[in-house]
Amino acid sequence: MTAILQLLVSPRPQSFSRLIAREVVAGIARLRPEARIVERDLAADPPPHPDRDLYDAILSATADEDPRFALSEQLIAELEAADVVVIGTPMNNFTVPSTLKAWIDHIVRIRRSFRSTPAGKIGLLRDRPVIIVTAHGGYCGDAPPAQPDFLTPYLRAIFATIGIRQTEFLRLEGLSRGPERVAAALDQARRWIENGLPQSLR
C-alpha cells in the first residue's frame, strides 16, 4: 500500500497551493488506487516553534524516548511512513512560511534524521519523492521585475540533509496578476499532474 503524506500550509482554505496540492495527491491516487492519505494541516494545527526544552534535549544527546521529543517523534514517524510527500505552500517574503519552518525544525534533528560527520551531514531517512507545490503572487527568476526565490533551494537542501533527494517543484506564478494569469498557471499545473508526475509513481 502506498502512503501519501499531504502537508498543507496556507491559512487560506481556498488557496491555490492547497487546491493544486490536493489535485497532485488525487493524481497519485489514480495511479495508486490502494493509496492511504495522511493529511497534516499546518495552518489548522500549527506546530509550535522549538522552545528551550527542545533545544536542551537536542543539545544533551538525550534518548529519542525523552518526552521533550514527543511531537518531533510524531512528525518524523509520519514522514518515515510516507512513500511520497506532497506539500502545498505559499512563498512568504521570498521563503517558507513560519509554520512550515517550525515543522522542519521538528523533523530535522541531529542523531535522529541526520548525523554530523567531518565530511558533513549525512541523512538517515529513506529517500522518496517529495512534490512541493509553491504559490507566488509574482514571478521568480533573475530578470526584473522577478522576485528572489529562497524557498526552492532551501527546501531542496533541507530534504537532502535528512536523506531525501527526490524533490520536485511545481511552481504557480503570477497569481496576483489577474484571472487570465491564474487560469494559465492552473492549466500548466494540471498538465504537469497529467504528464509530469515522477516515473517511480507510475
Q: What domains appear along the chain, each with residue ranges and CATH number?
A: 3-201 (3.40.50.360)
| Span of 100-114, 123-137, 150-164, 188-202 with lowest mean pLDDT | 188-202
Name the grid cell of 60.
544533551
Helix, strand, coil in percent for the chain, rounding step 5: 40, 25, 40
CB 42 within 8 A of CB 71: no
61, burial (CB in 10 Å: exposed 0-12, middle 13-18, buried 19+): exposed
Query: What is the arithmetic mean of pLDDT over 20-24?
Result: 98
What is the model's pLDDT at position 143? Answer: 66
Tell me what percent of the residues of the chain surpass a pLDDT of 70. 99
What is the model's pLDDT at position 154? Answer: 98
Look at residue 88 and give its three-state secondary structure: strand
Model confidence pTM above 0.85: yes
**CA-CA distance, 3 to 1, in Å (whole number)?**
6
* pLDDT of 83 over the 90 cut: yes
What is the model's pLDDT at position 170? Answer: 97
Query: What is the arithmetic mean of pLDDT over 37-59?
Result: 96
Within a 10 A sphere around the Cβ of 148, how many other Cβ atoms?
12
Q: Looking at residue 53, what DSSP letter applies? A: H
Comparing CA positions, the residue from 202, 196, 138 lying closest to residue 170 is 196
Look at residue 134 and give its three-state secondary structure: strand
